[in-house]
Structure formats: structure tokens, C-alpha cells
Amino acid sequence: MLEFAGRTAFVTGGANGIGLGLARALLAQGCKVAIADIREDALAAALKTLDNQAVTAVHVDVASRAGFAQAADRAEAALGPVSLLFNNAGINLFQTIYESSYDDWDWVMGVNLHGVINGIMTFAPRMKEAGLGGHIVNTASMASFLCGGAPGIYNTTKFAVRGMSESLRYSLAPHGIGVSVLCPGLVKSHIYASDEVRPTGLSADAKPVDGAAVERLAQLHQFGMEPDVIAARTLEAMRENRFHIFPHPEFRDELATVFEEILADFRDYPQDVGFDQRVGFEKMRRESYARARQAARERA
């Protein structure tokens, strides 16, 4: 069972929304917490609300490899080796793929996918080396399973984060490090205001911000789940070493429908040349994958 007290946590996107909820929950469990974010004003405001606790703020753009490594150094110099990592920072862009520019791709992929990659490439070797075990939670979304026509780039990044997290889980389990993917539905957060943190260097081809649409999203997000509720459900799942963290139970039926629709696309084709040999190979692979899933679940 994962013990939280005394561990150091690093939470990206920690100045707002889910990240700030995670920081509060971790502090309440006796962790030391580094909140890392691109918004310096929000970091300062968050620190005030977390006054007198074992917390430090680190300015970072998660899309920057060098910047991430420097932020990790600063956090570990202040709070000791990180053994709980939350790759949570993310932005959204509500438009279809065919309406999008390369700048749109570079921004959303840079934060939502490369930000998580940078977190893992920075911290996974350090966590392994420190030998303290621990846990990594990557924030994806229900949009890592469910797609609409928009937001296409967001869907792309979140599907990738889910796949990356699952593969990482099997490779880190032998080192006592768990990996989970957090898949929330609607959250009471500021994600609708993502345009505020879009870098100017990736804004030349940006569509003009639709103020009315942003206002509609702001209204909708008022009914999102409270970050503190998501954080409590996340820590509970980490203790149980569950891979998928689904804080919103209302998505279960839709997911079942989608899985049924996926299976309905299979056909019983006649056996082609090489079928038996392939099935023999797949049997070995399948058994080894099943063992990896079991071993990851059994991590102490």
C-alpha cells in the first residue's frame, strides 16, 4: 500500500483546477509539494491559499525540455527527491482538425503530450535511481476514450497520454513505481481560458478567440466536478494502485457502448496462410502481457 506521508510530490498545472486540488490533498496527507505552472500570478495566489505548509512554487513551461529539467532541480533542491509525480498541466482548443493550423498542433501537442513526455523523461530515471518507489499519475481525460469532431487535437494528445501511461506502468512496476492515468469528465476549472497561456510564437495562425464560446464554456465548467473531489478519488486509486482513475461514474455506460461498437467491427474472416503460426506467437505475447498486467496490479 502506497504511503503518502513524508514523500515529495511534483504537480504540473498546480496553480489551478485539478492540480491545485491535488496539492491540497497531498499536503493534507503530510507530503511536501512543488506546484509547477506557467502562470506566475496564479502560482503566487495558490501559495497564499496554501500558506504555512510544506509547499514551493516553481515556474515552468512543461513544453520545454530544458525548462522542465531546471524546474525539477529547483523543486528537489527545496523539498528533496520527488517520488510522486503528477503530469497534469493541460490546455484545450475547441476546434476540428481540419480547421487547425500547424501552430495549433504544436501548441496543444507541446503542452498536453510533450509536457507529459518531458515529465517522465525528467523524473522517471531520478525516481528509479532514488529507490523510494512512488507513483506517477498522468492526467488524460474521458477524451482519451471518447471522440467528437472537435476538439480533435486534444483527443489526439489524450489518447497518446493513455497509451504512454499504460506502457510506462509495465516498465516501472519492477521498480516499485506505480503509474495511473486520470480520466476526468467535466471539471470546475479554468481550462476554458487556455488561450491566455498560448505562447506568442505559436499564435500567428491562431483563429481569433470566440469570446461568446469561451463564456459559454465558463458557464458549463461551473457545473464541473470540484477539484478536491477528483483529488480525493485520485489518491484513493493510487493507494489501490488502479491504472484507470475514473472520477466521474456517469461515463460507465457510454464507455461500455463504445467498447461494444469497437468489437462489432471485427469480422470472422476465413483463415489465411500463416494464421496458425501467428496465433501461436500471439498466445505467447498475450500470456506475457497478462502477466505484466497482473504484476503491475500486485505492486506493493
- Residues binding ligand NAI (CB under 6 A): 12-13, 15-19, 37-39, 42, 60-63, 88-91, 111, 139, 141, 184, 186-187, 189-191, 197, 224
Toward ligand NAI, which CB reaches closer, 146 or 292?
A: 146
Max Cα distance, the chain (Å): 69
Given the residues 154, 170, 192, 269, select the one marked as catalytic: 154
Query: Please, what is the minimum distance in Å from the beta carbon of residue 20 to ligand NAI?
Result: 8
Toward ligand NAI, which CB reaches closer, 37 or 104?
A: 37
Active site residue 154: yes
What is the full DSSP assignment across 87-107? Answer: E-------S-STT--HHHHHH
Instruction: Tell me how far apart the alpha carbons of residues 255 and 2 are, in angstroms, rounded to a whole number.
Output: 29
Toward ligand NAI, which CB reaches closer, 119 or 133?
A: 119
Toward ligand NAI, which CB reaches closer, 83 or 139?
A: 139
Instruction: Tell me how far apart the alpha carbons of residues 192 and 63 are, in angstroms, rounded to a whole number.
Output: 19
CA atoms within 13 Å, Cβ hemisphere of 59: 5
Neighbour-count burial for 79-96, b at 16+ CB within 10 Å, e otherwise: bebbbbbbbbbbbbbebe
* Strand (E) or helix (H) holding 137: strand 134-139
The catalytic residues are 154
